[in-house]
Amino acid sequence: MPHVTAATPTSGHRRPRWWTELPLLAVVYALYSAGRLLVRENIPAAVDHGLAILRIEKALFLNAEHPLNRLLTTHPALGVPADFAYASLHYLVTPAVLVWMFRRRSAAYRAARTWLMTSTLLGLAGFTLMPTCPPRLLDARHGFVDTMSQYSAYGWWGTGASAPRGLSGMTNQYAAMPSLHVGWSVWCGVLLWRHGRHPLVRAAGVAYPLITVFVVMGTANHYFLDAVAGAAVMGIGALLTRPVLRIADRVKSRVRAVFTPVPASVARAKSPIVSGGCKTSAGERIPGQRTTSADSSHAATGSASEAASDDAPAAAR
């Protein structure tokens, strides 16, 4: 996905302004949040989808959720930091990288922002089409423990995943597929690796997505295939970034054409009248145009020539 964040020439585009970027990002995030809340929580279907994912993983020997979950539930020194990471980094690192791109890598910012927005809306479509029960909400006989609930005394969250205590009703807990925790961390990792100049920044770009995958699986908030789907959504969003930018440019050009007034000088230049409303003075003629005086002299010359030709035969007789 390197082509999406390449520092391409910005001819024809002004540098983004924060007072236009903030409302745009706010609208997209509001649509994302409202969409999650408006999607009806079809719990039986969500549980069926979760169990189907679990069966597929077991058949493919990809079921790493159980050992990771047991690791975090038996070792609070790992479980508590993992819960803090799940509840906070998703909302801190992504905006921080976005601001960093805006301030330090402005040539690539527009593509990076469009990539993030497009992928987020694709993730919302996934939540809508396939509500999925996370491992922590499955029946206890499936062997998962909700670490967020187990260690809730250490943080601000309750039983509603990363939602603050008492506000679990403000989030859709059955939106596990795809994992945008993983998807957004992949976005951050690619940008940090590609645009970071210090080795530590690039190392963070590699470590952050890997840590996120570990956290979402160990806390029983996502399956491994949720993480794969989150990365896939970002890949599709990367492929759609350039077409989305072209469409946005066309829409912007048409809107400007409609609302931008045409200067009077331009309007006169586009007048269908050849002379542009100007008149010629007496005796002035446009090149290539026959005037009345010219027609009269031509007629007189023609008459004299005819008279001379009539007199010549008479003299010969």
Residue 273: half-sphere exposure toward Cβ, Cα within 13 Å: 7
Task: Kindly give, in sequence order, each residue whose CB lies less than 8 Å from that of residue 267, ignoring residues fewer than 6 positions away.
Answer: none
pLDDT tens for each residue of 4-28 = 665 444 444 566 666 566 676 677 7
pLDDT at 170: 59
At 12 the pLDDT is 47
Could you give phi then psi for residue 132, rounded to 5 degrees?
A: -135, 130
Residues whose CB falls within 8 Å of the CB of residue 108, separated by 6 or more in sequence, listed in order: 5, 6, 7, 8, 101, 195
Q: Please give the structure tokens belonging to residue 147.
A: 């670490």
Residues 115, 6 contacting (CB under 8 angstroms)? no
Q: Minimal CA–CA distance to 134: which of 162, 115, 108, 107?
A: 162
Query: Percentage of the chain surpassing pLDDT 90?
Result: 49
- Ordered per-residue pLDDT tens for the chain, 317 residues: 545 665 444 444 566 666 566 676 677 777 666 665 655 567 889 999 999 999 999 999 988 999 999 999 999 999 999 999 999 998 899 999 999 999 888 889 999 999 999 999 999 888 888 999 999 999 999 999 999 889 988 888 766 666 665 555 557 788 889 999 999 999 999 999 999 999 999 999 999 999 999 999 999 999 999 999 999 999 999 999 999 999 988 988 888 888 777 665 655 555 555 554 455 555 555 555 555 544 544 444 444 444 444 444 444 44
Q: How many CB atoms lie within 10 A of CB 39?
A: 16
